[in-house]
Amino acid sequence: MSKWIEGKLKDLVEVNPTVKLIKGEIYPFVSMDVIQSSYKPVEAKEEREFKSGGAKFENGDTLFARITPCLENGKIAQVKNLKNGKGFGSTEFIVLRGKEGITDTDFVYYLVTNKAFRENAERLMVGTSGRQRVDKQQFEDQIISIPDLETQKRISSILGSIDRKIELNVEMNKTLEEMAMTLYKHWFVDFGPFQDGEFRESELGMIPKGWKVIRLEEIITLKHGYAFKSKQFSDEENEKVVVRMGNFKEGPGLQFLDNTKFLIDDSVDEKYKLKPNDLVIVLSDVTREGRIIGRAGFIPEDHREYWLNQRVAKIETEKMYKYLLYCLFNSDLFRHHCITSANSTTVLNLKNEHLYNYKIALPDDKVIFEFNKKMETIIRLILENEQQNISLMHTRDYLLPRLLSGEIDVSQAEKQVEEVL
């Protein structure tokens, strides 16, 4: 039987632990936008000079967003692979770490991602509307209850095994996506399979004879999403998922690892409902670097309903063009087009004409058919991995609150996880 300990958070967990960084030195930097909801690891995507401000942390520390709407959106992650083990990031992070002999560092991550903990943190927000932040003093003084250290480690091991499998699938999909993009570049950029044939001059340069230059408007139609309101967020269990900007990541594909729910009533037109294998594209980006703008992915085939949000669009096209368009939209060349076309000092937004007027070299149906045969296996594996991650996420999110409350016995949970991994 586990012995439970109750006390103030600051007495059981290291809150904003001391990390010594040298002013003027370059360190890995973690910005708020690289943290993905319900995805455990986060790595620095850039390096910056440390001047004085910002949250300081080490590998294994948990970054907890304290500002609205990042906290409500689940911006919580555990840092990994920092160069030389140290880094810094947004001032809006609270840094958390296990306290020696009392709390396990991995357990701390699961403790603060638990819905009950997050909801309590939301109640501790102060400040003006739209810029509210968690009050640090009240945050540190909140009372928590935790099991003994040995039980914490077992809980961390159970939930960690699920998150490691999710991470493995994500990394596997990155490799598959690289394969898909390499194949696309070989066929439609370098024209590798056609080098022995004749070429002709075109407005896009030399292209294989028999190919034609078209505007995308000739083969696609954009269908924009619905402007879901914050009042439609729900804590009720349902099987409705709204495809949003947050489902897109750097690189191709989609992720449905967050557990934000929506109440979708009769006021939402059925035309915004998506079908399995629909191709969707993100039309906006809050970062000036345009990390996700123009990215595309397929809707998975599972038991849930998927609905289209604003700033995301469905690409209506003939089935034969879907793999070609998927690769095109995720290519570096198209990404550059999107960033320059939607150039802005604030939010980047693509307009219909930015896509419709884009020109590509299109081969005959026989070439596209051969390309699709090679792409089909890759895309199928990507979608299978995404689907498995959705299932794993549900298992993890079912077990997490029950393990942290003692409702489920640790040994019982260990057996349950063994069956799904």
Angle between helix axes 115-123 and 365-405 (nearest 10 degrees) is 80
d(CA 138, CA 244): 33
d(CA 163, CA 393): 8
The predicted structure's pLDDT at residue 260: 57
d(CA 109, CA 42): 12
Cβ neighbors of 305 (< 8 A, separation 6 or more) are 239, 240, 241, 264, 273
Find the length of the chain. Answer: 421
The residue to which tokens 């039309």 are assigned: 283
Structure tokens at 120: 């309590």
The predicted structure's pLDDT at residue 355: 94
- Give this prediction's pTM: 0.88
Determine contact, residues 326/296, Cβ cutoff 8 Å: yes
The residue to which tokens 């079908």 are assigned: 275
Angle between helix axes 365-405 and 410-420 (nearest 10 degrees) is 170
Cis peptide before 363 (omega within 30 of 0): no
The predicted structure's pLDDT at residue 233: 57
Secondary structure of residue 82 in the 3-state scheme: coil
**Beta strand extents in 295-389 (DSSP E only):** 296-298, 305-308, 312-316, 348-349, 359-362
Cα angle 163-286-340, degrees, rounded to a multiple of 5: 120
d(CA 256, CA 226): 18
CA 366 centroid distance within chain: 36
Determine contact, residues 285/291, Cβ cutoff 8 Å: yes
3-state DSSP of 68-133: CCCCCCCCEEEECCCHHHEEEECCCEEEEEECCCCCCHHHHHHHHHCHHHHHHHHHCEECCCCCCE
d(CA 229, CA 235): 15
Structure tokens at 113: 């991602």
pLDDT by residue, tens only, the chain of 421 residues: 468 999 999 999 999 999 999 999 999 999 998 898 889 999 999 999 999 889 999 999 999 999 988 898 889 999 999 999 999 999 999 999 999 999 999 999 999 999 999 999 999 999 877 789 999 999 999 999 999 999 999 999 999 999 999 999 999 999 999 999 999 999 999 999 999 999 999 999 999 999 999 999 999 999 999 888 765 655 555 577 888 887 887 666 677 765 555 667 777 888 999 999 999 999 988 776 677 888 999 998 877 788 898 999 999 999 999 999 999 999 989 988 988 888 666 778 889 999 999 999 999 999 999 999 999 999 999 989 988 998 898 899 999 999 999 999 999 999 989 988 8
CA 335 centroid distance within chain: 18
**DSSP string covering 33-80, please?**
GGPPTT--EE---EEEE--S-SEEEETTPEEEE-BTTTTTTT-EEEE-
